[in-house]
Amino acid sequence: MPQIFDRSSNALARMCLVLTGLIVIALGFTLDQLQRSPWVTRQGQRADQPVPFSHKHHVQGLGLQCQYCHTTVEKSSYAGIPPTRTCMNCHAQIWTNAQLLEPVRNSWYTGQSIVWTKVHDLPDFVYFNHEIHVNKGIGCETCHGRVDEMPLMFEQNTLQMEWCLDCHRNPSKNLRPTSEIYNMAWEEPSEDRPVWCTAVDDRYGVPTAQSVSCTTTDPASNMGAAAASQPLALLRPAALTTVAGTGESAALTYQKFTSQDEMGHYLLVHYKIRTPKDLTSCEVCHR
Ligand code: HEC
Ligand code: HEC
Ligand code: HEC
Ligand code: HEC
Ligand code: HEC
């Protein structure tokens, strides 16, 4: 049988294979980049909303707390979007003629909820829960960014699996005192700005994140006269200052932290955070 292709076409065929390979790789790379791009993740985009609600005005300007509107964030998986009634608490009196608020008044008179466009929206196959995160010392700002500075809401982080895992592998770098979860401007401890924490686990029997309390003002400077007269006692381990049976009255033992590393580790232990292995297992988020 005569050869259909001459020898030189071997090289050509090889080149075609190499080229096809390169194209496939390039395509894969592009798709991968695309999949992570803000165009797909919607990171940073302002959604079209029926009312241009400004967190900046209402949180920073008027000083409203997140819980005033997102009432269930500490006690359920959902933070919740406020009903029209919450807006009318104020807008029945102020800005009553503003065109911008027409959809709010309309909703109030017709009883039809305002249909807000979701900014954060995980796929249905992912389980997420606000309650556990905020009760274990992850601040709103860690995940949602400086909401108090957003005229219009946008997504600060990708909410992709890699982002969740990055924290689940090492939560201590993001842990803060639970009293600070709503604080938009929280800064981690430093030499100039130490944080003092104490844990009263035994007082409540069952240790919870709530039995840890922290302060950014030196507890030695604002304790009662009794404690002030023996400031060193504060630095001693609890066991030494606690007389059996009188644990209640013993001065609280505060520990001073000047880095996120130290404080994060302390909180990790006291909040009873599971190991990275447990927290990255598939069933945690895909049930
Ligand atoms: C006066 C009521 C009010 C207060 C106070 C408020 N919010 Fe909101 N929030 C809303 C409304 C209304 C929406 C829905 C419209 C939008 O997305 O802007 C919303 C949306 C959000 C969303 C996005 C929801 C989505 O669709 O994914 C986040 C995140 C959020 N708020 C966080 C916060 C945080 C953090 C605070 C405190 C710093 C706060 N909010 C305070 C009313 C409020
Ligand atoms: C605690 C009172 C209060 C509540 C609750 C409240 N607002 Fe307002 N809102 C104000 C005040 C005061 C202004 C005027 C702010 C300014 O211009 O500085 C305002 C302004 C606005 C404006 C005009 C644009 C702007 O931000 O200046 C819109 C739109 C608005 N509010 C929507 C809402 C919606 C929607 C809700 C419910 C989710 C709501 N507000 C809840 C007090 C409130
Ligand atoms: C660990 C990260 C994380 C923390 C901390 C966090 N959120 Fe969220 N938040 C999310 C994710 C993820 C979603 C999207 C949930 C979904 O689509 O099911 C979301 C959605 C929301 C929504 C939309 C409505 C809802 O319930 O799904 C609001 C409002 C909100 N968060 C407010 C808050 C407030 C207020 C705080 C602080 C008290 C907070 N979040 C803390 C990650 C977080
Ligand atoms: C900034 C840190 C951080 C980020 C980001 C984060 N988590 Fe978590 N997550 C935690 C911590 C801390 C816990 C509590 C672990 C514990 O108590 O053992 C937790 C617990 C959970 C749990 C366990 C709930 C339960 O009842 O057992 C789920 C589910 C979860 N996270 C889902 C997610 C998902 C989904 C995302 C991304 C959309 C996410 N988390 C992003 C820190 C984070
Ligand atoms: C901390 C929470 C968390 C854990 C743990 C987790 N996932 Fe995911 N996973 C997510 C989130 C969030 C998404 C949605 C990502 C998106 O919307 O882009 C996701 C998406 C996926 C997808 C869809 C494809 C994709 O990448 O979007 C697959 C498949 C998947 N996860 C498999 C796994 C497997 C297998 C494990 C265990 C090794 C695992 N996940 C552990 C949060 C988690």
Ligand 3 centroid–CA 133 distance in Å is: 9
Task: Please check the confidence at residue 5 and state whether its pLDDT lies above 90.
Answer: no
The alpha carbon of residue 12 and the mean position of all alpha carbons in its chain are separated, in whole angstroms, by 55
Ligand 3 centroid–CA 240 distance in Å is: 42
Smallest CA separation from ligand 2 atom 5, residue: 87
Q: Is 86 in the pocket of ligand 2 (CB under 6 A)?
A: yes
Ligand 5 centroid–CA 6 distance in Å is: 51
How many degrees, rounded to 5, is the angle at CA 143 between CA 141 and CA 148?
30
Amino acid 82: pLDDT: 97
Amino acid 252: pLDDT: 72
Q: Please count the CA atoms within 13 angstroms of the CA of 193 that sit on its side-chain side.
A: 6
How far apart CA 284 and CA 287 sit, in angstroms, is 7
Residues touching ligand 3 (Cβ under 6 Å) are 66, 70, 73, 78-81, 120-122, 128, 130, 133-134, 138, 140, 142-144, 159, 181-182
Q: Is 204 in the pocket of ligand 4 (CB under 6 A)?
A: no
Location of structure tokens 């249905």: 124
Residue range 147-197, pLDDT digits in tens: 999 999 999 998 999 999 999 999 999 999 999 999 999 999 999 999 999
Amino acid 67: pLDDT: 95
Report, as an integer, the average pLDDT of 71-82: 94
Question: Which amino acid would we find at residue 270?
Answer: H
Report, as an integer, the average pLDDT of 17-37: 64
